[in-house]
Amino acid sequence: MQDTKPYHFKPNEVANMTGASVQTVRRWTDLFAEFLSDSANAAPGTPRLYTWADVDMIKQVKALRDQNVPVELIPEKLSRPTTSSSTVTHEIFPLTDQEGQHLTPASIVSHDYLIAIERRLEAVEAGRKDFVQGIALGFIGAGVLFILLIGLAVLYGK
């Protein structure tokens, strides 16, 4: 059976995925709690569990820190509430990628969308492999049972 990616990650896993230290991930979680899930901001004594969206947000914070953006200004860069027809949306400010190219909201959404599709495809592929293995084992089991029945028929048929 193929392993699929978990949907929740521990702080050390997020640190490995983002290149930040575990201590830094925890500090950023406390500083930017409003941008992260409830499971990342767990109650004392409860383990923190990060979602894919949390990992992406920590990556954005790291990218901003790598650009020497002061911690105090990061919340402004992460999102700014705007209203339009009684709904609240969040405008993501342009970030730069490793080559210094500005990332537009469309490219960030496209990247997130592609990651979501990739995860779904991996889950479907894992399910398909499990199904095929189950069918194969079923045929093998039926074959073994058939051979046993023929052996019993030969043995007791005399």
pLDDT digits (tens, 9 = 90+) for 79-94: 643 333 333 333 444 4
Which residues, other chains included, contact 34 with Cβ-Cβ below 8 Å and sequence gap of 6+? 75
pLDDT value at position 30? 92
Q: What is the pLDDT of residues 138-156, one digit of tens each?
A: 999 999 999 999 999 998 9
Round the average pLDDT of the chain to a whole number and report it.
78
Classify residue 95: in a domain, yes or no: yes
Strand pairing class (95-96; 87-91): unpaired
Classify residue 3: in a domain, yes or no: no
Using CB atoms within 10 Å of the CB of residue 154, give its burial: 0 to 12 exposed, 13 to 18 middle, 19+ buried: exposed
Q: Is 0.95 surpassed by the pTM of this model? A: no
Range of the domain at 131: 11-156
Classify residue 2: in a domain, yes or no: no
In the chain, the number of structural domains is: 1
Give the residue with greater pLDDT, 137 vs 98: 137
pLDDT value at position 124? 82
pLDDT value at position 148? 93
pLDDT value at position 6? 52
Residue 74's CB is within 10 A of a number of other CB atoms, namely: 17
Classify residue 87: in a domain, yes or no: yes
Classify residue 128: in a domain, yes or no: yes
Q: Classify 117 as helix, strand or coil.
A: helix
Classify residue 78: in a domain, yes or no: yes
Classify residue 125: in a domain, yes or no: yes
Give the residue with greater pLDDT, 109 vs 113: 113
